[in-house]
Amino acid sequence: MKLLRQSSPDPHQLALQLDFFAPDPASHAAVDSPAPQALSGGGAQSAVQSTMQGVPPTQSETPLAPPPGKRRIHLGGHVLDYTLVRSKRRSIGFLIGDEGLRMCAPKWVTIGEIEGAIREKQRWIFAKLNERRERSARRLQPQMQWRDGATLPYLGADLTLRIANTQIQGIHHHHETRELIVCLPADASEQQLKDRVQGWLQMEAKRLFAERLPLYAQKLQVVYQSFALSSATTQWGSCTADGKIRLNWRLVHFPLALIDYVIAHELSHLREMNHSPRFWATVQSIFPEFESAKKALREHAPESLPAF
């Protein structure tokens, strides 16, 4: 891939990918905090679990005692129950998982110091616990019913499915009424309906990406070699050093601003093949609102999208 610079990166360099919920690793949110400098020694690990599944209760709602093996800390009018497990590390760390907050700290750090770190990070902790709770609630929402009158997200708004029973097969999008009319035989299966809708969405994604990519490439003064649709289950997009870009077709469910953010993100790798401050400055230069778009994209769980 030739860039508009004096030198080109190694085309064999690994692709950089924009993961679901990036930059949170996997399905967790984590942050590190330095351990007290006056201490030295081994390591520690602790697990912290909030009561009420991540929604901190008031003290009047607090159970009489924490669950067996748990410790409890009062944070203003709220409480967190947590388990302390010791392990080897040099800094105090926080990890939000399905069980709540997990603390990691050196074993020479006292309980008071660990709980002091929790108090300092309590706003972050409660925010992440609430994010986890909301994602869990979305997973429990009923899946889309594939029938006439059902809705599916398209460019950030609902599109209503209309099924026309006819031997002449086709699919038509009515912009004014926001309806997708799918022509299928009366005996067509649900999977045939899904396949027809998925095929249409993928064509729309390819058309839209082909329109938006050149706009942002021109702003950056870079040239990409090719682009293709991706059906990855863990990445929204990727870019190789030789200019091959892949974009997840499921982005077509989201508002145009989120699609543009992913496109700007991937094209910026043709300037900076990393996620350094210079990379984010490059993204910001062509997409100033990238922070809000990145946050919004992270909040869209794959489980909330139609299952094909």
Do 54 and 82 form a contact (C-beta atoms < 8 A)? no
d(CA 23, CA 274): 13
Mean pLDDT of 60-78: 73
Region of poorest pLDDT, from 43-47, 58-62, 113-117:
43-47
Q: Would you kindly state where each structural domain of the chain is located, as residue ranges?
A: 16-21+152-157+189-304, 35-139
**101 band by pLDDT with thresholds 50, 70 and 90:** confident
Residue 40 pLDDT greater than 50, yes or no: no
How many Å apart are CA 295 and CA 21, to the nearest integer?
8
- What number is the average pLDDT over the span 261-287? 95
CATH class of 16-21+152-157+189-304: alpha beta
Which of 32-36, 273-277, 301-305 has maximum average pLDDT? 273-277
Longest dimension (CA), the chain: 79
Contact 105, 62 (CB under 8 A): no
Per-residue model confidence as pLDDT tens digits over 107-121: 888 888 888 888 888
Whole-prediction pTM: 0.62
